[in-house]
Amino acid sequence: MYPNVIFLRAPNNSNTLSVNMTASVANHRSVKLAILLPCQVLSLLFSLFIFMNVVYGSYKLFRPVRNHFIAVLLITSFIQVSTELSMVESYLHTGVVRPSTPSYCSFFNWFEFSLNGISLHVMFWTSIERHILIFSHVSLRTPWKCLLFHYIPLLVSVAYAPSIYGYFIFIYECVNHWDYNELLCTAPCFYQNKLLGIITWLANIIIPAFSIAIANMILIIRVTCRSADLQVNIRRMKKNRKMTIQLLGISSLFLIFWLPISVTGLIQQFISPTFLIDVQFNVFFYLIYFIQLFLPFVCFVSLPELKSRIKQSIRRLQGRNAIGDMITLQMAPTIQY
């Protein structure tokens, strides 16, 4: 969640209006909590299910370069859903950020921004790298090129957001005015520098989000044109389609939930500051959490090898149970009448 927009709120002119607004806000928090909590439980259980299958035999699925980003996204999703989302749910339950201390608010903001930034920037780089994997895959077979064009960019994508927000939240000289009755205790003080806030917002949200969309559209066009070439190897063409579909499935999840807040943010910054401000604050900001909640399911679908191995394990387990039942029946004593 990136509170880079100045929220405009009308002043309360009466105690009755204040009470009604408080009750309405509390009701909104309860609805959000009722939606997020069951999704959190299901997401965590499914993530653990995937991790267990990976540990017990499917770890080879993540050896190919094309699947490394999925491993990073799954780990980031699990960390955010199991820890940071619980911090958000605590606020939704009580209406107060607890513990109500400046250091916790600073950490809350850094943790939120870092985790969202990691997943977004990893997806951003993956959308670009997929062009290399499909159309220049031979180049990554050289160890130094694989290091230069795969591992280093992936590491930078993971380290960028925690580093940049660590500087702006903990080191940048400004005075925070935390409000413990607001989610994330309101925005960090570096957003008070409007130019810095806009640049940070454009570089860390708008450019990656729209670049993901553009890179995916170009990829679809290139793969389609390449498939029309009769000289293309059929096996390679199927592999290219598979990698394209895998990327489109996961990137679509990011675009569905990131584009609304990105588009409304652009309109608010450059056209109308109050455009859909209530919808953005009460709906769009919370949609970002559904990326991490749904990510394990989407990643599972994008790994058909993992699905087939799990099905094989289930069949073997069912076969063992059937054999056990037959042995039990054969060993059961015959009843004499």
- Kindly report the three-state secondary structure assignment for every residue of 230-298: CCCCHHHHHHHHHHHHHHHHHHHHHHHHHHHHHHHHHHHHHCCCCCCHHHHHHHHHHHHHHHHHHHHHH
Question: Is there a domain that residue 319 lies in?
Answer: no
Q: For residues 275 and 206, what is the distance between their CA atoms, to the nearest angstrom? A: 17
pLDDT by residue (tens digit) across 214-259? 999 999 888 888 776 655 667 777 777 888 888 888 999 999 999 8
Q: What angle do CA 277, 280, 283 make, to 5 degrees?
A: 135
Is the pLDDT at 327 greater than 60, yes or no?
A: no
**Mean pLDDT, residues 64-69 taken together:** 85
Asked, for residue 224, whether it belongs to a domain, the answer is: yes
Residue 21 in any domain: the answer is: no
User: Which of the two residues, 247 and 324, has the higher pLDDT score?
Assistant: 247
pLDDT of residue 97: 92
pTM for this model (two decimals): 0.82
Task: Please give the residue that has the higher pLDDT: either 330 or 35.
Answer: 35
Which one, of 196, 209, 202, lies nearest residue 121 by Cα? 209
pLDDT, residue 331, reads: 58
**Domain assignment present for 278:** yes
Q: pLDDT confidence of 25, banded at 50, 70, 90?
A: low
- DSSP-derived letter for residue 76 is H
Q: Is residue 137 part of a domain?
A: yes
Evaluate whether residue 250 is within a structural domain: yes
The 10s digit of each residue's pLDDT in 41-56 is: 999 999 998 888 877 7
Confidence of residue 337 (pLDDT cuts 50, 70, 90): very low
For position 5, what pLDDT does the model report? 44
> Domain for residue 291, yes or no?
yes
The first and second tokens of residue 89, run together, are 């749910």
Amino acid identity, position 152: I
Domain limits at 134? 33-54+62-303
Q: Is residue 114 part of a domain?
A: yes
**Which residue in 296, 255, 254 sits closest to 119, CA to CA?**
254
The residue-averaged pLDDT of 149-159 equals 93
CATH of the domain at 220: 1.20.1070.10
Contact by Cβ (8 Å): 176, 189: yes
Q: Which position has the higher pLDDT, 66 or 16?
A: 66
List b or e across 67-105, with b for residues whose CB sees 16 or more CB atoms inside 10 angstroms: bbbbebbbebbbbbbeebbebbbebbeeeebeeeeeebb
Inter-CA distances, 237 with 164, 231, 241, 243, 299, Å: 40, 10, 6, 10, 22
| Residues whose CB is less than 8 angstroms from the CB of residue 245 and which lie 6 or more positions away in sequence, other chains included | 302
Question: In the chain, how many domains are there?
Answer: 1
pLDDT score recorded for residue 284: 86
- What pLDDT does 279 receive? 82
